[in-house]
């Protein structure tokens, strides 16, 4: 009679833990670790400060003006520069 443990026979003769079973367990653990890394990256990557990475310069300017980071004169000057007008046209008038 073979000695029994909680998980099965002690000598593992022909059980699933030979060859294929060990490879399967490595794949399962690898998949679980990859899933955990993916979940962490997925949940933390979107927490950047208030804007998306696909914003154009004009969209960034509009957002900054809308949130009050810049005033109307700064907005108008920066918009003229973005539209390709000369820098002198963009200078605020006193």
Q: Residue 90: is its pLDDT beyond 50? A: no
Residue that is written with structure tokens 């804007």 in the block: 51
- End-to-end Cα spacing for the chain: 101
In DSSP notation, 24-75 reads HHHHHHHHHHHHHHHHHHHHHHT-SSS--TT--HHHHHHHHHHTTSS-HHHH
Specify the pTM. Answer: 0.38
Q: What is the pLDDT of residues 38-66, one digit of tens each?
A: 999 988 876 555 555 688 899 999 999 99
Structure tokens at 50: 């208030």
51 phi and psi angles, rounded to 5 deg: -145, 160
Q: How confident is the model over 22-26, as a mean pLDDT?
A: 87
pLDDT over 70 at 5, yes or no: no
Report for 7-11, 14-18, 35-39: range of highest mean pLDDT: 35-39
């Amino acid at each position: 009679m073979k000695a029994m443990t909680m998980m099965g026979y002690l000598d593992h003769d022909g059980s699933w833990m030979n060859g294929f079973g060990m490879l399967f367990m490595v794949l399962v653990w690898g998949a679980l670790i990859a899933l955990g890394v993916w979940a962490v990256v997925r949940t933390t990557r979107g927490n950047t400060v208030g804007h998306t990475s696909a914003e154009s310069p004009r969209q960034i300017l509009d957002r900054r003006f809308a949130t009050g980071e810049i005033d109307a004169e700064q907005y108008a000057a920066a918009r003229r520069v973005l539209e390709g007008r000369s820098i002198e046209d963009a200078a605020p008038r006193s």
